[in-house]
Amino acid sequence: MSPLETITREQDPSATMIAHALEGWLVMEVANSNENGNAYLNGQADFVTNGKAKNFSHVSRLDNFTGLFSQYPNDHNVIAKQLFCIQMGISGAFRTQCFILAKSAEDYMMRRAIGYDPLGDVSAVVTDQLAIRPLGSQTDIEDLVKNTRQINEQRFKILQAVYDDPKRSQGLHAIFHHLRLSRLQESFLRLGVDYIIHAAETSGGTFESVTFLEPKTIAKARPYQPFKS
């Protein structure tokens, strides 16, 4: 059973809204991944070499943006960049999960099209995290920065371990990596909820001004408000 399936808290109405926004972003990211520099990761050819480069790039980006966030924690553009990196963390972990489980390039593409761990209940995780970190609770910026850096460091180690393991797709090796990648997605998902709550708090306790960046190459990603009616 996926660690995402073990949560049974009562559903929070806000959780459905947040989960829908996050799921929508992840599915769009798959659709957009055929564009420009992301296309090389769609097939299995050279996945390890390119995946290592992508991992290093994404880890470095989140580390740099986290430093910026620590200085400007209430800036919505800065928070949007953090959320972009966090969502890419979920997508990248799932992409690697698809790679180690796929039996062929076609199987990889079918698995990848889902956008996130199909065994996971995103709404349940969001509901659980909202119970821990409800709207109206004060953000401890120092703790949020520390948690972000820790998860980012875990991401680097977990993905590198996959790429360095020649038996990554075999038996217990595949199960081991699959479970670690599922937990990594959950960690990023919970972190994303914390940033969404923080963004809402900086806007008077409402979600409408919370800003995402489009799931594209970050240089071309435009801001949008997924909760705006």
pLDDT of residue 1: 37
pLDDT at 11 over 60: no
Q: How many other β-carbons are positioned within 10 Å of the β-carbon of residue 19?
A: 21
pLDDT of residue 184: 95
Asked if residues 115 and 91 have their Cβ atoms less than 8 Å apart, the reply is: yes
Asked if residues 149 and 63 have their Cβ atoms less than 8 Å apart, the reply is: yes
pLDDT of residue 10: 53
User: What would the pLDDT profile of 168-225 be if each residue is shown by its tens digit?
Assistant: 989 999 999 999 999 999 999 999 999 999 999 998 889 999 999 999 889 999 999 9
* pTM (predicted TM-score): 0.88
- The pLDDT of 2-7, averaged and rounded, is 42
pLDDT band at 2 (very low <50, low <70, confident <90, very high): very low
Weakest-pLDDT range from 35-39, 118-122, 135-139: 35-39
Tell me the β-bridge partners of 213. Answer: 223
Tell me the β-bridge partners of 212. Answer: 224
Q: What are phi and psi of 213, to 5 degrees?
A: -105, 140
pLDDT at 81 over 90: yes
Tell me the β-bridge partners of 68. Answer: none
Asked if residues 183 and 3 have their Cβ atoms less than 8 Å apart, the reply is: yes
pLDDT band at 136 (very low <50, low <70, confident <90, very high): confident
pLDDT at 40 over 50: no
Give the residue, 52 or 42, on which the prediction is more confident: 52
pLDDT of residue 7: 41
pLDDT at 36 over 60: no
* Average per-residue pLDDT for the chain: 86
Rounded Cα distance, 205 and 98, in Å: 37
Rounded Cα distance, 135 and 139, in Å: 10
